[in-house]
Every structure is written in C-alpha cells, then in structure tokens.
C-alpha cells in the first residue's frame, strides 16, 4: 500500500475537478497515478502476495480492463477516416522544408512539429495573416478542430487566385501551397 500514497494527489485532483473528462479513466488525466500503481503491482508480485495466482486469470483481467477502457468507436470511425488520405498527406509533408513556417490542420501538425512556427487552421483566422507562412497544407475532409467544412474549401479557392502562393501539390483533397520567394 505504501506506493499508492503517491497517487493520492492525482486522485484527489481528479475527484475535485469540474471538468468531466478528468473524472474518468478513459482520458489522460489519470496517467500521473500509473507509476505508483505499477510500483504497487511490482512490490506485490515480488512479495508473492497477489490476487491471481495463475497466468490465465491475470491475462483475463488484463483483457477485461483493456476492453472496458478502449474506445472502440474511434478504431472503427475516427481513425479509419484518415487511412484513405494517408499517402497523399505523407507526400505533401515530404515537400515541406524543415525551416519553413506552416499553416495546417490539427491532424497534420504533429508530423511537422520540428518547425519554428506552426499555426492550426481555424475558421476565425484572418486570411490577411497568411503572409506569415511559407507553407499552407490543408485537408478538405478533415479541416481541423476549430474549423468547419467550408473553411478549407474557401481557403483553397482563395489561394489558387493568390499571387503570393504557388500551388505545389494536390492529392486526395490534400493541398499544399508554397509562398513565392
């Protein structure tokens, strides 16, 4: 029980929180308690005092825990939507130079995280601010967290007519525009 004392502050914060995702086990807010839980399991196994003595029981409980916390709707819907445009997205990302600033969606931004400036697409973004970016990488099907479906379509049409940007790549509704030097 001694290792579990370290998990009390995390548990208390999660219980007192008003934000509902912080109260369940599905989100990342309970992760700080994990090292203490693992220490408790390790010390229990080392002392030979465990609930389940056979491997089948341990595997069964591990499987039950995984199935109860996994988000199956994400595997079948949210994640599979990106599969059909994966190749086009990767091709566009390879054409973005390391030093350039990028304006892109929240799904693509993690793949470009080693740039100095990355701004996520937003329907509230003023298109006059596009001059700050060397690359604009858009995905029509997944416009981003703070965008809507019309925003990337309108921005692509606007950029095609913009003299400051060259159209460089298009594949499966993934568009890359490069600022004219």
Tell me: the pLDDT tens digits for 107-130?
Answer: 888 888 887 888 888 777 766 578
**Do 62 and 93 have their domain in common?**
no
**Do 164 and 88 have their domain in common?**
yes
pLDDT for position 154? 84
DSSP state of 60: H
Query: Which structural domain range is residue 173 located in?
Result: 83-179
In the chain, count H helices and then E strands.
Answer: 6, 5
**Do 46 and 99 have their domain in common?**
no
Q: What share of the chain in percent tops pLDDT 90?
A: 0
**Do 25 and 96 have their domain in common?**
no
Q: Is residue 60 part of a domain?
A: yes
pLDDT for position 169? 87
Mean pLDDT of 43-64: 75
**Please, what sign has the CA dihedral across residues 13, 18, 19, 24?**
positive
Nearest 5°: CA angle at 53, between 51 and 59? 90
How many domains in the chain?
2
**Do 90 and 159 have their domain in common?**
yes
**Do 88 and 55 have their domain in common?**
no
Number of Cβ within 10 Å of residue 23's Cβ equals 14
Listed residue (2, 159, 173) closest to 92, CA to CA: 173
Nearest 5°: CA angle at 51, between 49 and 53? 85
**Do 13 and 88 have their domain in common?**
no
Q: Is residue 130 part of a domain?
A: yes
What does the block give as tokens for 132?
């700050």
Number of Cβ within 10 Å of residue 177's Cβ equals 25
Q: Is residue 139 part of a domain?
A: yes
Q: Is residue 77 part of a domain?
A: no
**Do 88 and 175 have their domain in common?**
yes
Q: Decide which of 70, 92, 124 is a domain's last residue.
A: 70
**Do 143 and 87 have their domain in common?**
yes
pLDDT digits (tens, 9 = 90+) for 4-37: 888 888 888 888 888 877 777 667 777 888 888 8
**Do 43 and 92 have their domain in common?**
no
Percentages (nearest 5) of helix, strand, coil residues in the chain? 55, 15, 30
Hey, is 146 helix, strand or coil?
Answer: strand
Q: How sure is the predictor about 79, in pLDDT bands with cuts at 50, 70 and 90? A: low
What does the block give as tokens for 83?
């599969």
pLDDT digits (tens, 9 = 90+) for 138-154: 888 777 777 777 888 88
Q: Decide which of 38, 70, 102 is a domain's last residue.
A: 70
pLDDT for position 20? 79
**Do 100 and 133 have their domain in common?**
yes
Q: Is residue 76 part of a domain?
A: no
């Amino acid at each position: 029980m001694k290792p579990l004392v370290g998990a009390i502050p995390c548990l208390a914060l999660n219980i007192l929180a008003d934000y509902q995702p912080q109260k369940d086990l599905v989100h990342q807010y309970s992760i700080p308690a994990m090292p203490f839980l693992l220490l408790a399991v390790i010390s229990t196994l080392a002392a030979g005092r465990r609930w389940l003595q056979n491997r089948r029981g341990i595997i069964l409980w591990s499987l039950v825990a995984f199935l109860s916390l996994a988000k199956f709707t994400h595997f079948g819907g949210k994640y599979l939507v990106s599969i059909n445009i994966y190749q086009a997205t990767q091709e566009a990302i390879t054409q973005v130079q390391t030093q350039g600033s990028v304006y892109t969606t929240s799904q693509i931004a993690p793949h470009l995280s080693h740039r100095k400036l990355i701004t996520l697409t937003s329907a509230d973004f003023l298109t006059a601010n596009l001059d700050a970016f060397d690359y604009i990488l858009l995905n029509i099907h997944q416009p981003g967290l703070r965008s809507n479906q019309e925003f990337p379509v309108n921005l692509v049409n606007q950029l095609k007519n913009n003299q400051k940007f060259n159209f460089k790549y298009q594949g499966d509704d993934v568009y890359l525009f490069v600022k004219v030097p």
